[in-house]
């Protein structure tokens, strides 16, 4: 079985839409990082998105585990012109678009951004390459809220609304396995 241990990066404390903006993670909670490090399989391979909040979180929990190159296809949702703006500001500008984007994730895009289907396609392709190359291994993938939800949706065969009902906290782990083309889901949003 290939097991994915999907870890959400440390908090940025931003109160805005943070997708491709490269904000740093607050990694001051060393006790939480130690618990996360100790919880993950010691022989796992570690990979992260190329955004510093994921890269630095991966470095903080890596220990002696082998590190794979950062992958930009594991980035968060690209929010386009909504990037680094508050929810209330976005809703005030275009309430119908904002509602449609979150209420029915699929083809709706923020201006100059990605739809949920775009994100899902990008992340699925990156995960498929990892699954093909590292079959039978444990992979610690340090990424983002949206990235983790794409794989929850995939493994549980959920629609967009069901997918977005899942909480994914910073420094949490979501465990998903694949064996003989069958997905299995362990804990979602586990805080060690």
Q: What is the pLDDT of residue 63?
A: 96
- How far is the CA of 60 from the CAs of 4, 27, 33, 46, in angstroms? 18, 8, 7, 11
Q: What is the pTM of this model?
A: 0.96
Query: Over 90: is that where the pLDDT of 54 sits?
Result: yes
Mean pLDDT of the chain: 96
Query: Over 90: is that where the pLDDT of 36 sits?
Result: yes
Q: Where residue 76 sits, what CATH number does that domain have?
A: 3.40.50.1240
Give the model confidence (pLDDT) of 92-149 as tens digits.
999 999 999 988 889 999 999 999 999 999 999 999 999 999 999 999 999 999 999 9
* Residue 191 located in a structural domain: no
* Residue 161 located in a structural domain: yes
Consecutive H or E run containing 147: helix 145-156
* Residue 146 located in a structural domain: yes
* Residue 151 located in a structural domain: yes
Domain count for the chain: 1
Phi, psi of 169 (to 5 degrees): -80, 155
For 115, the domain range is 2-185
DSSP 51: S
Tokens of 28: 């001051």
* Residue 192 located in a structural domain: no
Q: What is the pLDDT of residue 105?
A: 85
* Residue 118 located in a structural domain: yes
Q: What is the pLDDT of residue 104?
A: 82
% of the chain surpassing 70 pLDDT: 100
* Residue 190 located in a structural domain: no
Tokens of 174: 């979501």
Whether 1 and 101 have beta carbons less than 8 Å apart is answered as no
Residues in CB range of 4: below 8 A, 6 or more apart: 127, 139, 141, 151, 175, 176, 177, 178
pLDDT band at residue 11 under the 50/70/90 scheme = very high
């Amino acid at each position: 079985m290939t097991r994915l241990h999907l870890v959400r990066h440390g908090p940025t404390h931003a109160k805005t839409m943070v997708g491709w903006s490269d904000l740093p993670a607050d990694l001051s909670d060393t006790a939480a990082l130690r618990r996360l490090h100790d919880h993950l399989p010691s022989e796992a391979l570690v990979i992260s998105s190329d955004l510093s909040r994921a890269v630095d979180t991966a470095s903080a929990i890596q220990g002696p585990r082998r590190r794979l190159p950062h992958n930009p296809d594991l980035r968060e949702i690209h929010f386009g012109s909504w990037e680094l703006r508050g929810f209330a500001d976005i809703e005030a500008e275009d309430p119908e678009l904002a509602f449609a984007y979150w209420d029915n994730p699929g083809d709706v895009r923020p201006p100059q951004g990605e739809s949920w289907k775009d994100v899902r396609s990008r992340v699925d392709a990156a995960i498929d390459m990892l699954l093909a190359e590292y079959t039978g291994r444990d992979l610690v993938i340090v990424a983002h809220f949206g990235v983790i939800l794409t794989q929850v949706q995939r493994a549980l065969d959920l629609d967009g609304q069901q997918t977005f009902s899942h909480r994914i906290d910073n420094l949490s782990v979501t465990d998903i396995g694949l064996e003989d083309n069958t997905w299995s889901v362990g804990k979602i949003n586990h805080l060690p």
